[in-house]
Each structure stands twice: as C-alpha cells, then as structure tokens.
Amino acid sequence: MDLAHSIGIEESDIHDNLPILYGSTGAWTLLIPINNLEAFRKMKPENKDFPAILKEMPKSSVHPICIETYDTDADMHARHFSSPFSGTVEDAVTGTASGVMGAYYTDYIREDRKDVMKLVVEQGHEIGKDGRVGVQVSKNGESYDIQITGNAVFVKDFEIMLEN
C-alpha cells in the first residue's frame, strides 16, 4: 500500500478494524489508525509523495493515530505529517487534527458514548516533544461541537531577516 510506505510503515501496521478517513476542523487531514506505538517509532514520512497518493484531497496532511499511549492519562497517541504545500514536515502538536481525532474516537472507538466526552491526545514523542491537547466532544444533533485546549511553552528565540 503506497500510503503505508509514504510514512515508513508496512500495511500490516495499519489497524484492520478501524477506518482510514478524512476529517477537518479547519484544515483537512487523513486519519490512519495504527496498531501500536512500535509502528510510530519506525515512521519516516515522505511528504512529497502525499499529493500523488491522496488524489481526492492532495493538500491534506497525514495523521497516524493509535489508542496505545505512552502516558496512561492520555486516550490517544498521534503524529502529524504535514502536506508538502505547508512548508513543514511534522508538527509536534496539532490542535485541528486532534479535534478530528475527538470525533473519530466518539464514532469508532468509544462504545459508551456520552453527550459530552473529554479526552487527551498525546503527540510529539518521536521527535523529542511531549505535547498534549485536551479535546471535548459534544453531540449537536447529527454532528459534533469540538473544543480543544492546551498550553504553549517557550522553545527558543530566533530572528528572521526579510529582504525586499
């Protein structure tokens, strides 16, 4: 499968019983359910290959997800591989994709759905970061209202020179 190889894993690393699907809370991303954390450690994205593989939405990012986590207080683990049009390769923490994960979790993973559900998404471990996003999912008729929360931390100062 070209999609699996574009992120450096085998097709067998993708979860058999959960769907691969697109979602958006402002930016489109493709959620790929992964069997376990070991597969995340192998991932090496080839972002330049995404548009040819994601023909339906060539500017989408790719967001592998997993219900196995490093932190027992987290509900899901993720990585976020950016579209080659974005100028980045991987985000340490991604709020918009975490929002999509909240709806996905509610529809496909959580058996005892509630009117309001709160979960924690962890991200960034494989690139030396320890990100967390709080996601609240509220049922609103046939759709969901998504709220995300988190904290920012100072990483480093840098200067940018603009030339005319």
Look at residue 161 and give its three-state secondary structure: coil
2-149, which class in CATH? alpha beta
**pLDDT score at 143:** 86
Model pTM greater than 0.95?
no
pLDDT truncated to tens, each residue of the chain (164 aa)?
A: 899 999 999 999 999 999 999 999 888 999 999 999 999 999 999 999 999 999 999 999 999 999 999 999 999 999 999 999 988 899 999 999 999 999 999 999 986 667 889 999 999 999 999 999 999 999 888 888 999 998 877 777 878 778 87
Residues 162 and 118: beta-carbon distance below 8 Å: no
Look at residue 52 and give its three-state secondary structure: helix
Domain boundaries of the chain, sorted by first residue: 2-149
Alpha-carbon span 70 to 74, nearest angstrom: 8
Q: How many of the other CB atoms lie within 10 Å of CB of 128?
A: 7
Alpha-carbon span 16 to 36, nearest angstrom: 12
